[in-house]
Amino acid sequence: MAIRSFFVPFLLFGLYFYSSLSPVLSLYEDQVGLMDWHQQYIGKVKQAVFSTQKTGRRRVIVSTEENVIASLDLRHGEIFWRHLLGSDDVIDGIDIGLGKYVITLSSGGSILRSWNLPDGQMVWESYLQGPKHSKSFLLVPTNLKIEKDSVIVVFSNGRLHAVSCIDGEVLWKKDFEAESFEVQQVIKPPGSDLIYVVGFAASSQFEMYQINGRNGELLKHESTTFSSGFLGEVSLVSSETVVALDSTGSILLTISFQNGEISFQQTPISNLYEHFSGPAIIIPSSVPGIFAIKTNAITIFIRVIGEGMLEVAEKTNHETAISDSLPLSEGQQAFALIQHAGSEIHLAVKLAHDWDGNLLKESIKMNQQRGLVHKVFINNYIRTDKSHGFRVLIVMEDHSLLLLQQGTIVWSREDGLASIIDVTTSELPVERDGVSVAKVEHNLFEWLKGHMLKLKGTLMLASPEDVALIQSMRLKSSEKSKMTRDHNGFRKLLIVLTRAGKLFALHTGDGHIVWSHLLRSLHKSEPCQSPIGLNLYQWQVPHHHAMDENPSVLVVSRCGPSSDAPGVLSFIDTYTGNELSSLSLAHAVAQVIPLPYTDSTEQRLHLLIDSDKHAHLYPKTSEALSIFKREFSNIYWYSVEGHNGIIKGHALKYECTGKVADEFCFDTRELWSVVFPSESEKIIATVTRKLNEVVHTQAKVIADQDVMYKYISKNLLFVVTVAPKGCGEIGSVTPEESWLVAYLIDTVTGRILHRVTHHGAQGPVHAVFSENWVVYHYFNLRAHRYELSVIELYDQSRADNKDVWKLVLGKHNLTSPISLFSRPEVITKSQSYFFTHSVKAIAVTSTAKGITSKQLLIGTIGDQVLALDKRFLDPRRSVNPTQAEKEEGIIPLTDSLPIIPQSYVTHALRVEGLRGIITVPAKLESTTLVFAHGVDLFFTQLAPSRTYDSLTEDFNYALLLITIVALVAAIFVTWRLSERKELQEKWR
Amino acid sequence: MEKGKGVMGSGRRWAVDFSDNSTAPSSRDIPDPLGFNRASVDQDDSTVSRQKKDAESNWKAQKAWEVAQAPFKNLLMMGFMMWMAGNTVHLFSIGITFSALWQPISALQGVGKVFEPYKDSKVELLGPKLLFIALNLGGLALGVWKLNTLGLLPTHASDWVSSLPPAQEVEYSGGGIPL
């Protein structure tokens, strides 16, 4: 006994210590995909090039607005390979060289790269410099060769380069240094070695350079002045003719430069179209002999016949899109034209010189939620009967990508999801009769088979094939994609707003799209020219007495990019995706403040602040107004003016002045302001606590049963300022010139609770605020490393509440409401640590009751999400913690934070272009749902303290069952035995 | 204590009676051995029985004191085990602590039964009983003390505030950087 008692504590302590040091979250290989899903997107396609050689798989190479170069399978639309370039490395052009290299021009024409077509490996990279900034063009001519070397012609930064296709070496270059020369087109007529560079100079001069493609020699330079100037772009109608508009947008100029002679031809648009009014714009295209202009809502296709003569080919008021030309055999060129008509789109493929005849005419039913066709790319294939077949790739208004072939949509990709602006969540309907839509197992046999397999698996009798079958059954479990609420709250809807103005509802179980809705209020309309979706808010979350209502979300958008453009509100039912109503506001929306009050139908009250600092209350009901009036004097708001470094606090005043009587509009008055000296500080980051965060307790129990009271306030703002010099890139300033100041400001009173200066530190700063602590990430210029700092706030004025009897009898005022105008005595504890990674986003886990310990979720530069225990960022860590502190779980202080490979939440996957991490509590206290979005989407469940309130996936049910059975059998046997024995006793 | 229990065991099937009951001839139907004069023995009968009764009550009183002191050994044993168990909360220390709490309680519940075999009009049982109770209470106190050192008694402020929700704030403020 003595020996045991000596060992057991040691053993247990050892085990405890081991487990406390490595909070490993890792999962087993067969658990991948059970609770997480990952979706890959590319973004809105800018340019597409087909590669349909006879050998090898048919693919299309695309470049997108998310700076992705991808190779897609033409059969299914899957991604073969994909590269995400940096956000400052915008792709200008792509093409295919020699049939095996993908050539990309990016970064304003200064970086030229070549990628291997089959696998996407980079072959070479060239850096192209030039004298001045200009438009950039990438041409990959098929027949231009210099000493058996295929040539790429690049015009960028005011310089024309000829680059070898094999190794990226610049063969020759030619500068266009004329001050005002603006290049408009670079033309390489087929069948000759000449290159034409045309452009405008001094806004009224047309310039043409003829260059020998073999050596870059300037053969001819011509220029002509056109007095009324030029507007916008030029359209290429043949290899030696371009069409431009004059500066008024009403006269078409046909400019031909055959044999180096420039000749003009003017045609007023009113000659072609008598109802013409207002300026027209040229739709950029490159179909020989045809170009299109757009005026008001009418698109006019104009044919060029002979020597600059123009003729209207077609007028249409349908929305249209036109593709570039596609060379067919024997010098013919085809192009695709798409016109909208109601719920259908009409696809026509025509030959360039034959407008009236159609090679192909198809009508395809199109989902209204995809909006208009924005771009068309055409490709042909040879049918078995030697005729031409066409496939067309179209990019829709919602950024989705579709392949049309033979009158049907072969595949579609929802690439709008690559550019998510905002995310919120919604519950699913409660399971009732007729509500559930999940399929039950097909029949009894299947059911039995499934369970037999599972039994085999648990008894370790399954063969590898069985194991694979079990795994696929687990992954495809219909349970997780059911359309009803589950007991643990794992199944929810993720409502996401994309840049295209489309709202998607994704199911958290497997990520499928439940519904999608292109917001009508975000369509272009007469009063609202360029609407932009801004944010999503939870408008109505019925849970208690309004269970019959569907939840709804509020989408706040704005007409135009300026901050005083009027706002638009739309209310969307999250079960169906229907737009319940939309409001076009008379005022702008500068800020949206969700208030902590709801009305009797669980609609949340929102306060919208306009650009004149008037506050508008929504919903506009008398009930909302009465609730609001009750709390009127306790509602404040603050504004952060980043450009002049001022934070202002405001209170509300009754009734708007100088306006039409509107009882839902309130004036505001300034209460306080914090002015940062503009010569030494510039605001670069502000963070507040999440509005819906739940905190379980205000006390923190530390070693030796001592108590510290957290300072928990919802009205705290964390602000970081840096020296104005240090706003640039990391390393652009010396450590002496750069500093970073962190503030904690009470947003009701404007009181600065804490201020700390980090000398020699520089942004960018990423921060997260939760409970009573804030963690922020910045660069330390002296140490040449990134740092994470933590500040924790404690309330010293409560620290005296240590009398046990008072607490037992409840004679304390720790939970009574407090006013922020009573002066709090805040003490802070802080610590800093080195951190290896640079960071793209930081979030923190959130659980239903706030009991579970927290983890920081750090989006690393490698586009992964790392879970870091908050215990590593505890300012009470010390180099040699005492025994009591060790028992409390304090980790000995180290200079840098450990990165445990197993604690990557995204395991082997990458969320390309990671932008945001959102955490949502599940109903189960131990579990939090994590959604990371960027170009890719990733969702998983996390249990920061492991699933202490439910059995884990790998719980050994078989062992439990066997134990129970064995115990029951043992009870039965011993009972019988004892009965028999008793009987024998009695007989004795 | 085990000894006490052994004496008062109820379900016995046989017993060796060490007391000499030869003075009761009625129960014996066998004849006296030759040359044995029963009458001479009967004369001293009363004095012998009185002596015997005195001896028995003395023995009972002595036994009662012994039984009353038995928990003391237990107490020492428990103290040693607690010391060995250490001050961290785990299965072993909890087991020891709870057995240290349970034993005195169960013993106190059975005070009457423990002393039942020694019940006698002539034996004063109050003293032993009080000692027995006091020692068991001491054991109980030891158990409670151990419980406290393990931190399982709510005697600190932290035990009462650890689930206090944060105080409500009267004011509410929202806003931020303009959209």
Question: Which helix (H) or strand (E) is A451 found in, with range?
Answer: helix A444-458
Contact flag B175-A639 (C-beta cutoff 8 Å): yes
A705 touches chain B (CB under 8 A): yes
Strand locations in A635-746 (E): 635-641, 646-653, 665-675, 682-688, 699-702, 706-709, 716-722, 739-746
Of all residues in chain A, the one with the smallest CA distance to B154 is: A804
**Distance between CA A419 and CA A916 in Å, rounded?**
11
pLDDT at A154 exceeding the cut of 80: yes
A496: left (phi over 0), alpha (psi -120 to 50) or beta: beta
- pLDDT bucket at A544, cuts 50 / 70 / 90: low
Of the candidates A592, A595, A698, which has its C-beta nearest B172's C-beta? A595
DSSP string covering A82-124:
EEEPPTT--EEEEEEETTTEEEEEETTTTEEEEEETTT--EEE
pLDDT digits (tens, 9 = 90+) for A350-402: 888 888 888 888 899 988 888 888 899 998 888 888 888 888 999 998 999 99
- Least confident range from A36-50, A569-583, A646-660: namely A646-660
pLDDT at A16 exceeding the cut of 70: no
A460 touches chain B (CB under 8 A): no
B6 touches chain A (CB under 8 A): no
Mean pLDDT estimate for chain A = 85
Residue B139 and residue B146 in contact, taking contact as beta carbons nearer than 8 Å: no
- The pLDDT of A399-426, averaged and rounded, is 92
Of the candidates B86, B164, B171, which has its C-beta nearest A814's C-beta? B164
Of all residues in chain A, the one with the smallest CA distance to B177 is: A640
Residue A127 and residue A156 in contact, taking contact as beta carbons nearer than 8 Å: no
Handedness of CA A669, A675, A678, A683 (dihedral sign): negative
**Distance between CA A872 and CA A877 in Å, rounded?**
8
| pLDDT, position A134 | 84
Contact flag A804-B161 (C-beta cutoff 8 Å): no
Q: Which two tokens stand for residue B78?
A: 């428990």
Residue A868 and residue A893 in contact, taking contact as beta carbons nearer than 8 Å: no
**Distance between CA B74 and CA B72 in Å, rounded?**
5
Question: Which helix (H) or strand (E) is A966 found in, with range?
Answer: helix A957-987
Answer yes or no: is the ipTM higher than 0.85. Answer: no
**Distance between CA A496 and CA A324 in Å, rounded?**
33
pLDDT at A254 exceeding the cut of 50: yes
- pLDDT bucket at A244, cuts 50 / 70 / 90: confident
- The pLDDT of A711-725, averaged and rounded, is 92
| pLDDT, position A234 | 82
Mutate to test the interface with A, among B161, B168, B177 (most CBs of A within 10 A): B161
pLDDT at A432 exceeding the cut of 70: no
Q: What is the distance in angstroms between the Cα of B136 and the nearest Cα belonging to chain A?
A: 23
Q: If contacts are CB pairs under 8 Å, which of residues 36-95 in chain B contact chain A?
A: 81, 84-86, 88, 90-93
| pLDDT, position A739 | 92
pLDDT digits (tens, 9 = 90+) for A837-867: 899 999 999 999 999 999 999 999 999 999 9
In 3D space, the residue among A319, A495, A502 whose CA is nearest the CA of residue A399 turns out to be A502
Q: What is the distance in angstroms between the Cα of A578 and the nearest Cα belonging to chain B?
A: 25
Contact flag B179-A701 (C-beta cutoff 8 Å): no
- pLDDT bucket at A435, cuts 50 / 70 / 90: very low
Of the candidates A637, A696, A817, which has its C-beta nearest B175's C-beta? A637
| pLDDT, position A232 | 74
**Distance between CA A306 and CA B178 in Å, rounded?**
57
| pLDDT, position A438 | 39
- pLDDT bucket at B11, cuts 50 / 70 / 90: low
Residue A553 and residue A426 in contact, taking contact as beta carbons nearer than 8 Å: yes
pLDDT digits (tens, 9 = 90+) for B61-78: 888 888 888 888 888 888
Of the candidates B86, B169, B173, which has its C-beta nearest A638's C-beta? B173
**Distance between CA A195 and CA A137 in Å, rounded?**
12
pLDDT digits (tens, 9 = 90+) for B18-72: 765 555 554 456 677 777 766 655 555 667 778 888 888 888 888 888 888 888 8
Of all residues in chain B, the one with the smallest CA distance to A700 is: B162
Contact flag A636-B179 (C-beta cutoff 8 Å): no
Contact flag A591-B178 (C-beta cutoff 8 Å): yes
A887 neighbourhood in chain B, CB within 8 Å: 88
B28 touches chain A (CB under 8 A): no
Q: How many CB pairs under 8 A join A and B?
A: 163
| pLDDT, position A278 | 73
Q: If contacts are CB pairs under 8 Å, which of residues 331-360 in chain A contact chain B?
A: none
B84 neighbourhood in chain A, CB within 8 Å: 2, 5-6
In 3D space, the residue among A48, A697, A816 whose CA is nearest the CA of residue B165 turns out to be A697
pLDDT at A785 exceeding the cut of 60: yes
Indicate the residue type of A840.
K
**Distance between CA B61 and CA A654 in Å, rounded?**
93
| pLDDT, position A650 | 93
A658: left (phi over 0), alpha (psi -120 to 50) or beta: left
- pLDDT bucket at A711, cuts 50 / 70 / 90: very high
A851 touches chain B (CB under 8 A): no
| pLDDT, position A658 | 65
Mutate to test the interface with A, among B80, B90, B146, B172 (most CBs of A within 10 A): B172
Q: What is the distance in angstroms between the Cα of A445 and the nearest Cα belonging to chain B?
A: 47
Percent of all residues in chain A with a pLDDT value above 90, rounded to a whole number: 36
- The pLDDT of A147-165, averaged and rounded, is 87
Q: Which two tokens stand for residue A386?
A: 């030697």
**Distance between CA B164 and CA B166 in Å, rounded?**
6
| pLDDT, position A401 | 93
Q: Give the number of C-alpha atoms closer than 13 A to the C-alpha of residue A33, restricted to the C-beta side.
A: 10
Q: Give me the helices (H) in B8-125, please.
A: 38-43, 45-85, 91-109, 111-115
- pLDDT bucket at A271, cuts 50 / 70 / 90: confident
Q: Which two tokens stand for residue A104?
A: 């990309």
Residue A441 and residue A435 in contact, taking contact as beta carbons nearer than 8 Å: no
Higher pLDDT, A596 or A452: A596
B155 touches chain A (CB under 8 A): yes
Q: Give the number of C-alpha atoms closer than 13 A to the C-alpha of residue A256, restricted to the C-beta side.
A: 14
Q: If contacts are CB pairs under 8 Å, which of residues 279-338 in chain A contact chain B?
A: none
Contact flag B88-A13 (C-beta cutoff 8 Å): yes
**Distance between CA A400 and CA A215 in Å, rounded?**
43
A535 touches chain B (CB under 8 A): yes
Which residues does A933 contact at the CB level (< 8 Å), separation at least 6? Answer: A420, A423, A496, A911, A914, A915, A916, A918
A180: left (phi over 0), alpha (psi -120 to 50) or beta: alpha
**Distance between CA A749 and CA A786 in Å, rounded?**
33
Q: At what angle do helices B91-109 and A2-21 cross, to 10 degrees?
A: 130
- pLDDT bucket at A4, cuts 50 / 70 / 90: very low
Q: What is the distance in angstroms between the Cα of B62 and the nearest Cα belonging to chain A?
A: 33
Q: What is the distance in angstroms between the Cα of B72 and the nearest Cα belonging to chain A?
A: 20
**Distance between CA A265 and CA A263 in Å, rounded?**
7
B163 neighbourhood in chain A, CB within 8 Å: 696-697
In 3D space, the residue among A691, A898, A682 whose CA is nearest the CA of residue A788 turns out to be A898
Q: pTM of the prediction? A: 0.85
Residue A403 and residue A393 in contact, taking contact as beta carbons nearer than 8 Å: yes
Look up tokens 């490159």; give the residue. A286
- Whether cis (ω within 30° of 0) applies to the bond prior to A817 is no
**Distance between CA A337 and CA A347 in Å, rounded?**
6
Contact flag B165-A8 (C-beta cutoff 8 Å): no
Higher pLDDT, A297 or A771: A771
Indicate the residue type of A122.
M
